Copies of this chain bind each other. A is one copy, B any other.
């Protein structure tokens, strides 16, 4: 297996996308898939598919393709999603509430095990998922109690950095940030930002120029 430091994040992103397509292929009854087909389904190109998988050893048979079930298992192992991960969500507004009921998370082994807020009218409320909203002031002890491994921030931008600091202080070093601002973290911490507006900006840029993508 290649040294992980040399693997581009874009490759990891595409592995995740291949994985989703492999699930759909299995659902549709396919047992094998060519790099051409997998590329087409994932809106990529076959050479890129082979290169991405090649970082980790290949997995395909020339002229035959990839075993749909086997390749899923390989990618699950590479992405470390062959186990469950515990998520703690801070900010039970509209977006936080939506995420707490987002079936796609639980189906993929991302378990929302705790939800936090600082608003007195939200603390103690029982959510449709059965979780009770906890006081953000109890984050530190809850992280240990619920074994929270990934912190999810869905607060307004003004609170995002404070929440990130609380996660770091409690040794949660992986953060999914939905707040439309960047947060500063030390090098030991992993952050993935999801800013919807950035995606809209990209659409507008292209629309504005009427570029055919």
Q: Which B residue's beta carbon lies closest to that of A187?
A: B212
Binds B, one of A9-17, A64-72, A116-124: A9-17
> What copy number does this chain have within its complex?
2
B-side contacts of A12, CB under 8 Å: 201-202, 205
Q: Bound state CA distance, A49 and B9, in angstroms?
A: 20
Does the CB pair B4–A104 fall under 8 Å? no
Is the beta-carbon distance between B188 and A212 smaller than 8 angstroms?
A: yes
Interface check A159, CB cutoff 8 A? no
A131 in contact (CB, < 8 A): no
Contact with B along A55-82 (1 / 0, CB 8 A): 0000000000000000000000011110
Q: How far is the CA of A9 from the CA of B199 in the complex (A)?
A: 11
| Complex Cα–Cα for A198 and B75 (A) | 13
Contact with B along A144-186 (1 / 0, CB 8 A): 0000011000000000000000000000011010001110000
A137 in the interface (beta carbon within 8 A): no
A206 and B24: CB pair below 8 A? no
Q: How far is the CA of A188 from the CA of B210 in the complex (A)?
A: 9
Interface residues of A in 94-131 (CB under 8 A from B): 94-95, 97-99, 101-102, 104-105, 108, 110
12 contacts between A and B (CB under 8 A): A16-B202, A78-B205, A79-B204, A80-B205, A80-B209, A81-B201, A95-B102, A110-B197, A174-B203, A176-B200, A176-B203, A190-B206
